Amino acid sequence: MGKIAFLQGNEACAYGALYAGCRFFAGYPITPSTEVAEVMAKELPKMGGKFIQMEDEIGAMAAVIGASLTGVKSLTATSGPGFSLKQENLGYACITEIPCVIVNVMRGGPSTGMPTGPSQSDVMQAKWGTHGDHPSICIVPASVQELFTETVRAFNLSEKYRTPVTVMPDEIVGHMRERVEIPEPGVIPVFDRVPPAVAPDQYMPYDTRFGNIPPLASFGSEYRFHVTGLNKAEDGFPTTRSDIVQKEEERQLRKIDNNIDDIVTYEEYLLDDAEVAIVAFGSTARSARFAVREARKAGIRAGLFRIITYWPFPEKQISALAGKVRAIITPEMNLGMTYYEVSRCAAGKAPVHGLFRVDGEPINPGQIHAKIKEALR
C-alpha cells in the first residue's frame, strides 16, 4: 500500500527523485523552482545523501556532473535564467555522457522576465540551448502526480541512455497542489546504470564493443578512466581524428534515435473520431481537455493529443494524426514553438492553427474552444 499525500508539484518532483534513488542535489535558489531544493535539503541527509547550495548555476551543474561520475544519481533544479547559465556544463555532460536530471520550472522570459508568471517558452532551449550536435530528452508533466512519476522516469532514462534528461513543468504545474500517490519502493521500476563487464585494466569508458551505450564505471573506484570535454576516442582521451569524431558524434545521437519508442510518451484523448485535434502539453493541456469536452457537448468532434515527452518530438504520431483530422490547434504559453514543430510534422496534411499567450496568464478553455470553432469554419 502506497502513501497518499497532498503535495505541491515541486515537492512531488523532489520525492520522485528520491524514489528513483537520487542521493545528491546541487542547486541555487530561483523562483519558481526553489521548493525542489527545499525538500531535497530536508530529506537527503536522512537518507545518507548530500545537498549543497552552490555559488551559482554553473557551479551547480558542475557539481551534479562530478557526483554522477562517482556513481551517485544526481539532480539539480532551476528556472529560465538559471537554465541558461547551466548550458555550458550541460554540453559537457552531453559529450561525456554523464547521467543526470535537470528540473527547469518554466517561467516568463527572456532574461528576468516574469519570475512568478507561467510560461512554456523553454522547450526549444531544452534541445538547442547548448552548442553542437547532442542528444536531448525532455519531459513536460501536466499534473502533480505526473511530476512524481515522470521524475522517476527521467532518472531511469538518464541512467539507461547515459545522458542528461530535463524535466520541464511550467510554473502552474510546479506550484499547484494535488493528491499524489507515492507507491511502495519497487512498484515503479527503477533503473540503475549498468556496471562494466570487463576487468579494470580492460575498461574503456566509450567502448563501442558494448553497443551505442557503453557501461559507465564509478570514478574513484578501481576503474580508472579519463574524462574530457574534447572530442574523444574510446579510451576517453582527446582526439582530432576526423573519422573517430564523426562516428562518435553520430553514435551519441543514434543511442536516442534508435530507442524512440522506448522514450517518447504521449496521451490521446477522444481522438478516434476527432475532426479537430488539439496538441498541447503541461498545464495548457488541462485547459485543452476541458475545451474538448465542451466542444463535444456542442456537437464538435474534438480530441486532445497531449505531449508528455517533448524531445524527442513525437513526429511519427503527429504525422499520422494530421492525416486523420481536418485541423490541428496548438495552444501554448509561448509564441509558436510547438506550432512550428507540429507544422513540420503535419507536412501540409492538415492546417495547423496556433494559439499563443505570453502575458503571464494561462490559456483558458474558452480561448481554446473559440479557436476550435474558428478552425472549422
Give the integer Cα–Cα distance in Å for 146 and 214.
30
Alpha helices in the chain (DSSP H): 9-20, 34-43, 57-69, 80-96, 123-128, 144-161, 171-175, 242-257, 260-263, 282-297, 315-322, 337-346, 365-375
pLDDT tens, N- to C-terminus, the chain (377 residues): 689 999 999 999 999 999 999 999 999 999 999 999 999 999 999 999 999 999 999 999 999 999 999 999 999 999 999 999 999 999 999 999 999 999 999 999 999 999 999 999 999 999 999 999 999 999 999 999 999 999 999 999 999 999 999 999 999 999 999 999 999 999 999 999 988 999 999 999 999 888 999 999 999 999 999 999 999 999 999 999 999 999 999 999 999 999 999 999 999 999 999 999 999 999 999 999 999 999 999 999 999 999 999 999 999 999 999 999 999 999 999 999 999 999 999 999 999 999 999 999 999 999 999 999 999 98
Give the integer Cα–Cα distance in Å for 340 and 342.
5
pLDDT at 194: 87
pLDDT at 377: 84
What is the number of residues in the chain? 377
pTM, entire model: 0.97
CB atoms under 10 Å from CB of 58, counted, come to: 17
Alpha helices in 162-274 (DSSP H): 171-175, 242-257, 260-263
Give the integer Cα–Cα distance in Å for 176 and 174.
6
Give the integer Cα–Cα distance in Å for 328 and 322.
7
- Kindly tell me the burial class for residue 251, based on how many C-beta atoms sit within 10 Å of its own C-beta (0-12, 13-18, 19 or more): middle
Stretch (H or E) spanning 7? strand 3-8
Q: Delimit the domains of the chain by residue range.
A: 3-182, 200-261, 267-375
CATH code, 267-375: 3.40.50.920
Give the integer Cα–Cα distance in Å for 190 and 158.
11
pLDDT at 1: 61
Is the peptide bond prior to 164 cis by the omega test (within 30 degrees of 0)? no
Q: What are the b/e assignments for 171-187, b being 16+ CB within 10 Å?
A: bbbbbbebebebeeeee
Q: Nearest to residue 122, comparing CAs of 162, 159, 171?
A: 171
What cell numbers appear for 310 in the block?
A: 517533448
Do 267-375 and 3-182 fall under one CATH topology?
yes
Give the integer Cα–Cα distance in Å for 68 and 86.
16
> Topology of domain 3-182, per CATH?
Rossmann fold (3.40.50)
CA dihedral 233, 160, 251, 88 (to 10 degrees): -70
Q: Quick check: 315 and 266 in contact, CB under 8 A?
A: no
CB atoms under 10 Å from CB of 261, counted, come to: 8
